[in-house]
């Protein structure tokens, strides 16, 4: 079962990303290290596989 967009957003925030807002269903997140990621979709919707991969990748990059 796919993760929800809301859980991806929570993981980003726990990793130090700050929600910078966005237009419509898009949210832009920025980490103090300079890493950026945009997540689209409503928090209750299922996340796409590529979104889950991108979130995992950017979290790994900032922890390295």
Overall domain count for the chain: 1
pTM: 0.92
The closest of 25, 32, 33, 31 to 51, measured between CA atoms, is: 25
Residue numbers of the domain that contains 13: 5-63
The CATH number of whichever domain residue 37 belongs to comes to 3.30.920.30
* pLDDT at 1 exceeding the cut of 90: no
Token digits for 7?
């859980």
pLDDT tens digits for 25-44? 999 999 999 999 999 999 99
């Amino acid at each position: 079962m796919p993760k929800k967009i809301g859980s991806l957003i929570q993981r980003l925030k726990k990793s130090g990303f700050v929600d910078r807002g966005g237009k419509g269903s898009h949210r832009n997140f920025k980490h103090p290290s300079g890493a950026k990621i945009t997540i689209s979709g409503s928090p209750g919707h299922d996340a796409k596989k590529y979104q889950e991969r991108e979130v995992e990748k950017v979290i790994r990059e900032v922890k390295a």
